[in-house]
Copies of this chain bind each other. A is one copy, B any other.
């Protein structure tokens, strides 16, 4: 392995921070940041903002101008080697006369997968890989999972009382968590490629399931212009075709994919709606097939807001990668509705295990994040 200096680390960290500026908009592409350094000075910075627009390396080279020649490029993902909507970045770095390229990690995209770094080496440019690799992994979990498995990274968002309840026995549930937690949910939605819900939720709450810019946290608003606002695709499992054009979902002009097993006449729905024909039971092959279909449709991260049945099915079938649980400081009692239905868990030894990643106070609520326990 190449030895990296602390200066290398500092520059790569900056590239990672830059990458994050694309986190609301870059999907289905990965987020990428690039820093060009010459004589211990930063001469160019760039990040990838939106698919079809220039990659991070190109933005950094534009920023550097002639100073790119002889510079070291720090890039959070291996430069691409293929012609997509833009020409290969590895080629661009060669043409600009960059002296050295350090990538945080290799791109698992089969169209790249080491070929970008090879292209650089073939051109006599020194290259190294593996600096702050874990951090680079963590900022692109969705893209990387899709490249490696064909399925999106699934985030299950749940909101509950301190005793794990989502609603009173009669269904009353409005505003369990506070305003700051709800703004955080908006940020979560905004970073997702798609939001998954069910007809049951649409019929019960009639949500729009969109990102509302004015409800995003202030620090997000500061870096994300309303003109750039991207709406995640809304995916609704609607087995019995109960979702109808009058539902508030369709007030937002942005893709809605209705999923059901039987053919469906979509003529009454707006043109931004689409029907996905797939089995839609909660059993394992059906939900797995949905995830694979969403992967094929380039969904990197899937943000799930649904009831106890779908939540439980995703958990039992190991399809949820992350739980994001907002815990309100209230007690609803043991007659209130539960968080997730796990019909196959009858012994303690079968209980799905998770790993606590973080617990932070958010307003009056507690936000906890868990990832699936690797066995």
Tally of contact residues, A, Cβ under 8 A: 53
Q: Whole-angstrom distance from the CB of A181 to the nearest CB of chain B?
A: 12
- The answer to whether residues A164 and B160 also contact, given A329-B353, A329-B356, A334-B340 and a CB cut-off of 8 A, is yes
Is A123 in the interface zone, CB < 8 Å from B? no
**Interfacial chain B residues near A329, Cβ < 8 Å:** 353-356, 370, 373
Bound CA–CA A359/B367 (angstroms): 10
Bound CA–CA A157/B169 (angstroms): 25
Contact of A348 with B174 in the complex, beta carbons under 8 Å: yes
Q: Indicate which residue in B162, B172, B365 contacts A347 across the interface (CB closer than 8 Å).
A: B172
Is A149 in the interface zone, CB < 8 Å from B? no
Contact of B346 with A330 in the complex, beta carbons under 8 Å: no
Q: Indicate which residue in B162, B172, B345 contacts A354 across the interface (CB closer than 8 Å).
A: B162
Contact of B330 with A354 in the complex, beta carbons under 8 Å: yes
Is A170 in the interface zone, CB < 8 Å from B? yes
Q: Indicate which residue in B327, B336, B342, B360 contacts A333 across the interface (CB closer than 8 Å).
A: B342
Q: Whole-angstrom distance from the CB of A12 to the nearest CB of chain B?
A: 28
Contact of B348 with A341 in the complex, beta carbons under 8 Å: no
Is A165 in the interface zone, CB < 8 Å from B? yes
Contact of A346 with B164 in the complex, beta carbons under 8 Å: no
Interface string of A335-369 (1 = CB under 8 A from B): 11111111101111001111110011100111010
Contact of A162 with B331 in the complex, beta carbons under 8 Å: no
Contact of B312 with A162 in the complex, beta carbons under 8 Å: no
Contact of B364 with A356 in the complex, beta carbons under 8 Å: yes
Q: Indicate which residue in B173, B338, B347 contacts A348 across the interface (CB closer than 8 Å).
A: B173
Contact of A332 with B347 in the complex, beta carbons under 8 Å: no
Q: Indicate which residue in B176, B333, B336, B340 contacts A163 across the interface (CB closer than 8 Å).
A: B340
Taking Cβ atoms with an 8 Å cutoff, the residues of A that contact B are 160-165, 168-170, 172-174, 176, 308, 312, 315, 323, 325, 327, 329-343, 345-348, 351-356, 359-361, 364-366, 368, 370, 373
Query: Given A308-B334, A330-B353, A331-B340, list of 20 further CB < 8 A pairs?
Result: A161-B164, A162-B325, A168-B347, A169-B346, A170-B346, A172-B348, A173-B348, A329-B354, A329-B355, A331-B342, A331-B352, A333-B342, A333-B343, A333-B351, A334-B342, A335-B346, A336-B345, A356-B365, A359-B361, A359-B368
22 A-B contacts, Cβ less than 8 Å apart?
A162-B368, A163-B164, A163-B338, A163-B339, A163-B340, A164-B165, A164-B339, A168-B346, A173-B348, A312-B333, A327-B368, A329-B354, A329-B373, A331-B352, A331-B354, A332-B348, A332-B351, A334-B337, A334-B341, A334-B342, A335-B343, A336-B345
